[in-house]
Amino acid sequence: MFMAIARASGVRSIGRAVLLSILIPGLGQVYEGQRTRGMGIFLAVFITSLMVAWYGVWIWLVTPLAVWLWGVWDAARAEHRSVVIPTVTIFFMSYAIGWRVAEIDFSVLTHNVSRAAVVLGPMVRPNLIEARAETQRAFVTIEVPCSENPPSGQRTYADLELTASAGCGQVGDVISVTGSGFWPEIDSEIWWEDAIGEKLHILEKGRIVKVKTDAHGGFVSMVVIPQMRSGTGQEANLDEPLPERFIVIQKRPIGGYKITENGIRVANGILETLSLALVATTFALFGALPLGFLAARNLMDGSAASLAVYYGIRTVMSALRSIEPLIMAIVFVVIVGLGPFAGMLAIMVHSVAALAKLYSESIEAIDPGPINAIWATGARWSEVVRYGVIPQAMPSFISYTLYRWDINVRSSIIVGFVGGGGIGAWLFQWIVLADYRAVGASFVAIVLVVMALDYSSARLRERIV
């Protein structure tokens, strides 16, 4: 009889759980004392429903309904059911919505082949080393916009002569430039220089325009007055006209090779990037070491005060790690100005938080035996750290520090895009100026440096471990 009563009581309990799960997802599991499981079901239904409503993909409303029904089915039995079905359903829904949000369309890759060739073509010919050559250049002044007394549009220097069809114009105007006296049958670079000395390649449909002189050293080129990045074209309409230049540069090989001016910039940028990362990692090391010990749970669970310090440091480290160095660099550029110092500060702050977390986890993973033995002798906290923690954790500390320096070299490149110095600052300028040969040169240098760092840091970590 008692068995029958218990069985009947169990059936009624399961029936209530099923009814509650039908009313609110997961409530039946909470009623049966499975609070974590019940809250998980409720959150899964709520979040998936919110995603469906947010993105308007109503066909995937089947996912929260399926999880809800699975929760009812789960509440109908005393034993736990496998969570594979709701997990797989949520995964497929998230993947489908993510595909739509990312607007993935692989066919676009084949639509813009010509545009990709404009970028990738020059990049496979990096501007690092060039044949030795003699150079001659000429320019003609063109006023943008026109004043009451514009220049003549003609200039002669030595034997080189350039004549423009107009000595002034507006942004977007087409002018004809005729040259004579140049070296015959040589491709010549064409540049536009604004009033503050900023140069830009003349482009046509995204391609860098070059002209080839004829057998007598002459050429004719049609040029569209560009809008410079500094804004001199349109802003000049509001102020006084500014003199800008159409420039022709010729180079003739004389034998041998040399590093290009761009190659020197790449070398200086890479050295600046490495120095920036090294200094940032070194400063971060000294900041992260004490924080790593204070953020280790096995060293900070002795009192309420130590636990408060532990949770406080963990919270601050999590907050700092959540902000990318690129964002920090923007803030520090505002505070200290453009240059490597802003980039170094951004990388250092982020590295302090990252290294402190890694150091603390290394300390928490060490063998507790020596620590307990030293505590048993009545040693102070500092003595426990010195004799029980550091000897065990030091190899991991060194390994993580080398790994972080490797990461910081890559981060130093990115922070340069927002004024943080290093090769990234040059790379940003070259991309804006469409100098893709210079971009290719910087990519070559970056790849070589990162490969060398990967190899050397891996060998060092092998020796340490």
Q: Are residues 421 and 287 located together in one domain of the fold?
A: yes
pLDDT(234) > 50: no
- The predicted model gives 361-386 an average pLDDT of 79
Decide: 225 and 142 in contact? Cβ < 8 Å: yes
Which among 235, 258, 281 is the end of a domain? Answer: 258
What is the distance between the alpha carbons of residues 443 and 62, in angstroms, rounded to a whole number? Answer: 47
What is the distance between the alpha carbons of residues 198 and 439, in angstroms, rounded to a whole number? Answer: 18
Which residues, 6 or more positions from 244, have their beta carbon under 8 angstroms from its beta carbon?
Answer: 141, 142, 143, 144, 192, 193, 194, 195, 225, 228, 232
Q: Are residues 152 and 25 located together in one domain of the fold?
A: no
Which among 258, 287, 318 is the end of a domain? Answer: 258
What is the distance between the alpha carbons of residues 178 and 160, in angstroms, rounded to a whole number? Answer: 11
Q: Is residue 112 part of a domain?
A: no
Task: Produce one character per residue of 85-116: b if its CB has 16 or more CB atoms within 10 Å, e if not.
Answer: ebeebbeebeeebeeeeeeeeeeeeeeeeeee
Q: Is residue 110 part of a domain?
A: no
pLDDT of residue 12: 55
Q: Are residues 225 and 311 located together in one domain of the fold?
A: no
Look at strands 174-180 and 210-212 and give their pairing.
unpaired
pLDDT of residue 182: 94
Dihedral, CA of residue 32, residue 37, residue 39 and residue 40, to nearest 10: -160
Cα-based angle 205, 208, 214 (whole degrees, multiple of 5): 110
What's the number of domains the chain is made of?
A: 3
pLDDT of residue 304: 83
* pLDDT tens digits, 325-369: 889 999 999 999 888 899 999 999 999 999 999 988 888 888 777
Q: Is residue 366 part of a domain?
A: yes
Residue 162's pLDDT band (boundaries 50, 70, 90)?
Answer: very high
Give the CATH number for residue 144: 2.60.40
Q: Are residues 179 and 66 located together in one domain of the fold?
A: no
pLDDT of residue 7: 42
Count Cβ atoms below 10 Å from residue 244 Cβ, excluding itself: 25
Residue spans of beta strands (DSSP E) within 348-451: none
Q: Tokens for 391, please give them.
A: 């000897």
Of 122, 149, 64, the closest CA to residue 431 belongs to 122
What is the distance between the alpha carbons of residues 409 and 355, in angstroms, rounded to a whole number? Answer: 15
Q: Are residues 191 and 294 located together in one domain of the fold?
A: no
Q: Are residues 363 and 446 located together in one domain of the fold?
A: yes
Q: Is residue 106 part of a domain?
A: no
Q: Is residue 286 part of a domain?
A: yes
Range in 135-149, 152-166, 220-234, 411-425 with the lowest mean pLDDT: 220-234
Round the average pLDDT of the chain to a whole number and report it: 84
Q: Are residues 238 and 286 located together in one domain of the fold?
A: no
Range in 78-87, 95-104, 432-441, 449-458 with the lowest mean pLDDT: 78-87
Count H helices and E strands in the chain, helices first: 17, 11
Range of the domain at 96: 2-101
Which among 223, 258, 293 is the end of a domain? Answer: 258
pLDDT of residue 355: 92
3 state SS of 244: strand
Of 332, 379, 348, the closest CA to residue 286 belongs to 348
User: Which residue would you say has higher pLDDT here, 428 or 208?
Assistant: 428
pLDDT of residue 13: 60
Q: Are residues 202 and 349 located together in one domain of the fold?
A: no
- The predicted model gives 119-123 an average pLDDT of 82
Q: Are residues 439 and 379 located together in one domain of the fold?
A: yes
Q: Are residues 250 and 284 located together in one domain of the fold?
A: no
What is the distance between the alpha carbons of residues 127 and 260, in angstroms, rounded to a whole number? Answer: 7
Q: Is residue 58 part of a domain?
A: yes
pLDDT(87) > 60: yes
Q: Is residue 57 part of a domain?
A: yes
Q: Are residues 285 and 355 located together in one domain of the fold?
A: yes
pLDDT of residue 425: 87
Which residues, 6 or more positions from 162, have their beta carbon under 8 angstroms from its beta carbon?
Answer: 138, 139, 140, 154, 155, 177, 178, 179, 246, 248
pLDDT of residue 349: 93
List of long-range contacts for 46-53, beta carbons under 8 Å, 24+ apart: 48/90, 48/93, 51/93, 51/94, 51/97, 52/93
Omega prior to 145 cis, within 30 of 0: yes
Residue 232's pLDDT band (boundaries 50, 70, 90)?
Answer: very low
Q: Are residues 396 and 408 located together in one domain of the fold?
A: yes
Residue 4's pLDDT band (boundaries 50, 70, 90)?
Answer: very low
Give the CATH number for residue 446: 1.10.3720.10
Q: Is residue 120 part of a domain?
A: no
User: Which residue would you say has higher pLDDT here, 107 or 414?
Assistant: 414
